[in-house]
């Protein structure tokens, strides 16, 4: 999984303007993030059409605010720079819940 460097919203949208991306908002101090972290390589392998980007919420606090991410771990899916869906709250998430979220995302027209 790639780690997104510190970036503002415009920089993020430029980076993700082509293709499918899954943003994974996390922080080192977050116990619920630590809970889902071991499942992330498998989730990433199960959805190879997405490029997964790990976003350190603390390093990218302005970006998190601009995207209305006020709880972690959280996930936001994009295709060609447009948001497809979000699983954003402060609750602990299981592998099954994350996969259900991804499975239920709309398919954007190419």
110 domain residue, yes or no = no
* Whole-number pLDDT of residue 109: 54
Q: List the domain range (segments joined by +) for residue 17.
A: 2-103
Whether the pLDDT of residue 43 is over 60: the answer is yes
Q: What is the pTM of this model?
A: 0.91
At residue 53 the predicted structure's pLDDT band, cuts being 50, 70 and 90, is very high
Whether the pLDDT of residue 13 is over 80: the answer is yes
* Whole-number pLDDT of residue 88: 85
36 domain residue, yes or no = yes
* Whole-number pLDDT of residue 90: 77
Whether the pLDDT of residue 30 is over 80: the answer is yes
Write the DSSP string, 31-50. Answer: HHHHHHGGGHHHHHHH-TTS
Write the DSSP string, 64-104. Answer: HHHTT--SSSEEEEEETTEEEEEE-SSS---HHHHHHHHHT
Q: List, for residues 73-105, the tens digit of each pLDDT value.
A: 999 999 999 999 999 877 789 999 999 999 999
Among all residues, which ones are annotated catalytic?
Answer: 30, 33
71 domain residue, yes or no = yes
- The tokens of 85 are what? 């869906």
39 domain residue, yes or no = yes
Whether the pLDDT of residue 108 is over 60: the answer is no
Domain count, the chain: 1
CATH classification of the domain holding 40: 3.40.30.10
User: Mean pLDDT over all residues of the chain?
Assistant: 92
108 domain residue, yes or no = no
Cis before residue 51, ω within 30 degrees of 0?
A: no
What's the mean pLDDT in 60-78? Answer: 94
């Amino acid at each position: 999984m790639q780690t997104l460097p510190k970036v503002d919203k415009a920089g993020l949208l430029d980076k993700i303007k082509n293709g499918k991306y899954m943003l994974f908002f996390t922080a080192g101090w977050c116990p619920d993030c630590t809970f889902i972290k071991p499942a992330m390589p498998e989730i990433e392998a199960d959805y190879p059409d997405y490029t997964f980007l790990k976003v350190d919420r603390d390093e990218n606090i302005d970006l998190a605010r601009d995207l209305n991410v006020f709880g972690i771990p959280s996930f936001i899916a994009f295709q060609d720079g447009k948001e497809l869906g979000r699983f954003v709250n402060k609750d602990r998430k299981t592998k099954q819940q994350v996969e259900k979220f991804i499975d239920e995302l709309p398919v954007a027209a190419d």
